[in-house]
Amino acid sequence: MGEVHHETVYFSGHVQGVGFRYSVLQVAKEFDVAGFVANLADGRVHLEAEGRKDDVTAFIEAVQEKMPGYIRKLERTNRKRPAEFRGFAIK
């Protein structure tokens, strides 16, 4: 597939124990993205997503719209890189 847009996102707030990862997985089904979502020991949720830039951006915005009362802070980094994932999963 060559180079894809890749984003690493860390969500902070009340994001564990509330179905956050499952909700992210459901939203991912609506977009042409690949990657994973996982809880971290420090209470944050880690998201890796790759695909076309427009798809990845819209996916992350849709996650924010679906879980607005739970997300207090969002840290995002992005870059172009070779595709690494197939499908989207909860880790």
Residues acting as catalytic residues: 21, 39
Q: For residue 75, list its beta bridge partners.
A: 10
Which DSSP helix (H) or strand (E) runs through 20? helix 20-28
- Identity of residue 77: T
User: Could you tell me where the beta strands, DSSP code E, fall in 1-91?
Assistant: 3-13, 33-39, 45-51, 71-82, 88-90
